[in-house]
Amino acid sequence: MSKLVEILIITGLSGAGKTAAMQSLEDIGYFCVDNLPPALIPKFVEMAKQSTDSLRKVALACDLRGGSLFQPLVNTVRELRKDSGVTTTVIYLEASDETLVRRFKETRRRHPFLESQGLLEAITEERRALEQVRDEADILLDTTSWKQTRLKRELVHRFTSSADALPIHVISFGFKYGVPIDADMIFDVRFLPNPHYVAELQPYTGEDEPVYKYVMECEATQVFLKHLEDMVDFLIPEFTKEGKSHLVVGVGCTGGKHRSVAIAKHLKEHIDSEADVYLTHRDYKREG
């Protein structure tokens, strides 16, 4: 008898963490197949639909090691999305050129595009070759500043949530370092007074009581929080009803050290009882 099968397709740039992602998904109960040619995916899915529960959740890694066999991936994904017996999620992993170069030099692995050209040129060529696949992705994960444990934590929280609680990731960040690419909504708190310009507060972060108290006691903060809380209190049940699998809420200030950290901390505490929520301060330990 056919049953609903969950398919995760892990793809992206070489060196961005596909192997680590597959290991993490295997740890949380996914049946993992590495470097399966896209042309064989439909046959594998049909087998999974008729098999035991061990193949109800499947993760497939696809990368350019497959050469020309990799090219049908976009069409394969589009066909799978028409199948009512399958839920298909494409996860695309990427990282900065500098990070990818460093990772390849550390591991001494050969880049699949490395022939007569240099490593940086090979990475550029691979980015270009994967543009269409990236556009098809449901989830983009930038692993530039992530260790393997951070990637595993991200995947665990996205794919082990309970049915009755919407997993929410609240992330504070600094606009000077870029906006989180996977954020569903962004709140800009740069309008609040900046503790960076208060000498005795500058060394602390929004997790520390002096800075947290300074931010929270501002009148503008209290007005803003009232609107923010009302908004998320309305949105969480609506997103849950709609069937959203995961929500990423970004809170940003200039450097991601003071205001955004305090507001994100407060937001996490506010929705803790209503959702499966976890908090990340992306930039609060950066210098400068």
Quick one: pLDDT band at residue 71, thresholds 50, 70, 90? low
CATH of the domain at 97: 3.40.50.300
Residue where a domain terminates, one of 106, 130, 159: 159
Structural domain range at position 181: 167-281
- Does the pLDDT of residue 212 top 90, yes or no? yes
Tell me, yes or no, whether 288 lies in a domain: no
Of 213 and 160, the one with more pLDDT: 213
Residue where a domain terminates, one of 109, 141, 159: 159
Tell me, yes or no, whether 287 lies in a domain: no
11 and 150 belong to one structural domain: yes
Tell me, yes or no, whether 286 lies in a domain: no
Quick one: pLDDT band at residue 66, thresholds 50, 70, 90? low
Cβ(203)–Cβ(258) below 8 Å: no
Both tokens of residue 42? 């439909």
Q: How far is CA 230 from CA 185, 226, 267, in A?
A: 15, 6, 11
pLDDT at 1: 43
pLDDT at 163: 46
Residue where a domain terminates, one of 131, 159, 187: 159
Tens of pLDDT, residue by residue over 111-125, are 777 766 788 888 888
The total domain count for the chain is 2
27 and 44 belong to one structural domain: yes
13 and 58 belong to one structural domain: yes
Least confident among 1-5, 221-225, 243-247, 248-252: 1-5
- Does the pLDDT of residue 68 top 70, yes or no? no
Question: What DSSP line would sit under the chain, residue for residue?
Answer: ----EEEEEEEESTTSSHHHHHHHHHHTT-EEEES--GGGHHHHHHHHHTS-GGGSEEEEE--GGGGGGGTTHHHHHHHHTT-TTEEEEEEEEE--HHHHHHHHHHHTPPPTT-SSS-HHHHHHHHHHHTHHHHHH-SEEEE-TT--HHHHHHHHHHHHS--TTS-EEEEEEEEGGG---TT-SEEEE-TTS--GGGSTTTTTS-TTSHHHHHHHHTSHHHHHHHHHHHHHHHHHHHHHHHHT---EEEEEEESSSSSHHHHHHHHHHHHHTTTSEEEEEESSTT---
71 and 184 belong to one structural domain: no
Tens of pLDDT, residue by residue over 132-158, are 889 999 999 999 988 877 788 788 778
pLDDT at 116: 61
47 and 177 belong to one structural domain: no
List the one residue out of 205, 184, 217, 180 whose CA is nearest residue 284: 205
- Does the pLDDT of residue 165 top 70, yes or no? no
- Does the pLDDT of residue 58 top 90, yes or no? yes
C-alpha angle 55/59/64, rounded to 5°?
140
Radius of gyration of the chain (CA): 21
Mean pLDDT, the chain, rounded, equals 87
101 and 72 belong to one structural domain: yes
- Does the pLDDT of residue 62 top 90, yes or no? no
173 and 248 belong to one structural domain: yes
Distance CA 176, CA 38 (A): 39
Query: Which of 1-10, 127-136, 218-227 is predicted most confidently?
Result: 218-227
72 and 171 belong to one structural domain: no
- Does the pLDDT of residue 53 top 50, yes or no? yes
125 and 150 belong to one structural domain: yes
Task: Count CA atoms within 13 Å of residue 10 on its CB side.
Answer: 25
In sequence order, the β-bridge partners of residue 90 are 9
Least confident among 51-60, 86-95, 105-114, 140-149: 105-114
